[in-house]
Amino acid sequence: MRAVVQRVRQASVRVDGETVGAIGMGLLVLLGVEQGDTEADFTYMVDKVAGLRIFEDAAEKMNLSVEDVAGNVLVVSQFTLLGDCRKGRRPGFTDAAPPEQARLTYLKFAKALQDRGLTVATGRFQAEMDVQLTNMGPVTLVIDSRKRF
């Protein structure tokens, strides 16, 4: 699994002009599910996102997680995170999980964050989405469950 995690003041996602998910302060997570992802990849990503210490404490040090600050999470499926741009000019997406597997994992990921007590909103799987955010910091990180970078 691969994710781009952004610390946000607010974020929302719209489909066909309708807001389908919106949050206040917290994390926007763009999530890509890869072929061959295991339960270990899933657990790693849920724990990493929920526990990532990127919110400031009273001393203005990034020591607090989204759980610590009672923040929200907006999860948006994004298979293009698995795009391979090493050859040619058109990305290849053969590493992305098939749509049904990716959809189930995406929904399971959002539910796992909810089960940890977080308020979670989502986009709409396989829809053309408009994502808006106010990046806080900015703080943007890329997480790969197979730790390739």
Catalytic residue among 78, 105, 109, 122: 78
> What's the CATH number where 135 sits?
3.50.80.10
> What integer pLDDT is reported at residue 76 of this predicted model?
98
Question: Domain containing 114: what range?
Answer: 2-144
How many domains does the structure of the chain reveal?
1
DSSP 35: T
- What does the pLDDT read at residue 148? 79
Q: How crowded is the C-beta side of 70, counted as CA atoms within 13 Å?
A: 0
Is 43 one of the annotated active-site residues of the chain? no
User: What is the gyration radius of the CA atoms in the chain, in angstroms?
Assistant: 15
| CB contact at 8 A, 33 and 80 | no
Annotated catalytic residue, options 55, 79, 105, 122: 79
The whole-angstrom separation of Cα 99 and Cα 82 is 13
115 belongs to a structural domain:
yes
Query: Quick check: is 11 in a domain?
Result: yes
78 given a catalytic annotation? yes
Assess contact for 120 and 114: CB atoms under 8 A: yes
Within-domain flag for 124 = yes
Q: For residue 88, give both structure tokens.
A: 């040619």
Assess if residue 149 is contained within a domain.
no
Q: Give 82-139 as a DSSP string.
A: G-B-SSSSS-B-TTBPPHHHHHHHHHHHHHHHHHTT-EEEE--TTS--EEEEEEEEEE
Q: Block means of pLDDT (10 residues each) for the chain, length 149 residues? A: 98 98 98 97 97 98 98 97 95 96 98 98 97 97 90
Q: Is 134 a catalytic residue?
A: no
For residue 57, tell me if it sits in a domain.
yes
Which entry of 80, 126, 132, 134 is annotated as an active-site residue? 80
